[in-house]
Each structure stands twice: as C-alpha cells, then as structure tokens.
Amino acid sequence: MKNFFKRFARNKMALAGLFVIIGLFAVSLLAGVLAPEDPDRPNLKARLQPPGPGHILGTDALGRDVLSRLIWGSRVSLKVGLVSVGLATAIGLFLGALAGYYGGLIDGMVMRFCDLMLCFPTMFLILAVISLLEPSIWNVMIVIGLTSWMGVARLVRAEFISLKSRDFVLAARVLGASDARLILRHLLPNSLGPVMVSATLGVAGAILLESGLSFLGLGVQPPTATWGVMLADGKDYLSRAWWLSFYPGLAILVTVLSYNLAGEGLRDAIDPRR
C-alpha cells in the first residue's frame, strides 16, 4: 500500500486531478454555505448582467446568479456520476464474478447478454429509455447505471479466470472453503484494482452523459441547477452572454479531465509494469 501511494504521488497530473476532485466534493457538500444566492430565485432586474463585483460570474436570462447555480450544479452532477457508477459497478461485479468463477453455461449466458447490450449504442439506448420515463434525476442515474455495467463485468470475469487457478485459491479450496467464501474472501478483493480504475473513469463518462441528457431536456428538469441545464439555458444567448455557456462548459471540462487524470494515475499505480 505504501508503494502504491508513492507511485501515485509521482504522477503529478494524477495528483492534481485528485486534488480537484476533492475540491469539487468539498464545494458540493458546502453548497449551501458557499453559494452567495438562492440558485433558483429569479431577479428580472438583474438579468443578463456580465461578470462583475455584484455577480462574480454574471447572471442568466432570469437574473439568477451563475456562480450559485454552478456550485449547486456540482452537487447534482457528482451525485449522478457516483450513484450511476456505483449501480453499474455492483451489477458488473455480480455478473462478472458468476461468469468468471463458474464458467461453462453461466459464463456463456452472461457474456452473450453482455454482447447483446454492447450491440446497442449507449447514448441512443439511454435516450430511448429516458424518453419513455418521466425525466428526473433518479431515472437518469438508474438508466445510466443499468446501461454501463458491461465493461466492469468483462474486467471482473477476466480477473476471476486468471485468479481461480492460483495457489492461494487452490489451497483455500482444499481446506474446504465454500464457493461464496472463495469469491468474497479470496477472489473479489484481488480483482478490485482494475474495477477501481474503471469506476473512476466511469464517473467522468456518467457526468458527460447526464450533462448531455439535461442539455437535450431529457435529464434533470429546470429550474434545478445542473451544468447541462445551464448549457441549455445559455445556448440562445451565445452572442451577447458568453458567460452562460462558458462557465458550466469549463466546469464539465475540468471535472471530466480530473477524473480521467486520476483514473490514469490509479491504473499506473496499481500496475507498476505499465
């Protein structure tokens, strides 16, 4: 573990990404304290004010403070990323463990189902399901989670196939360990390295998906502040209110880049051979 942290700390870009992620978590948790105004309260007298002393990042078409909406939007975007990736990881761990440990018919059924899910373009599948449901933050999280587990399942299956013939697993089997104990105590903990990397990168993808869905009007609905909704609100004012799209776009860029950098650093630290 000590060597792992040393290897990760040597990657300055990954360390910077981790610090940004920690900062985003702090901002989202303290949104009620940090936000200077109510993010949903309109003020038509202050509409479309440029960034300045009164409103550091300006105001939108309804006079709402952009900084406040950006801060509260971080909470929604991070919640969507973490919950949806948590759901996808749980499904992938369960199905990948079954396929990799038991093999044979179970492996074939799980992998064919995985291949079937991969045949559908993810974005179009999500759009089709969301369009049939009532747009809400919970529906967005569940749908993204249910359509993003295939990569985790493949990773866990490959790790289980590699590990189940190792000496420590064979020794535990000879000592009478049950299948559940072998999976939960010996195989699964040793398979979590690649899964952690995949989950970190998956959060970035989930945040992008949520922003895209909200931009199209199929995600979190106004007046709730999310970065995708802010982008959608600003698209009609690009020529005279550049700040409405610039700041939420920058927030998405920095967040996704930070998760990708941290994920790459985590992957290199877990596997020193890289």
Q: What is the CATH number of the domain that holds 159?
A: 1.10.3720.10
DSSP string, 169-206: HHHHHHTT--HHHIIIIIITGGGHHHHHHHHHHHHHHH
Residue 46 within a domain: no
Q: What is the pLDDT of residues 106-124, one digit of tens each?
A: 989 999 999 888 887 777 7
Once rounded to an integer, what is the mean pLDDT over residues 81-100? Answer: 91
> Which pLDDT value is given to residue 272?
54
Least confident of 69-83, 130-144, 145-159, 198-212: 130-144
Our count of domains for the chain comes to 1
Residue 41 within a domain: no
- Domain of residue 175, residue span: 2-35+56-270
Please give the model's pTM, rounded to 2 decimal places.
0.84
Residue 43 within a domain: no
Residue 2: CB atoms within 10 Å: 6
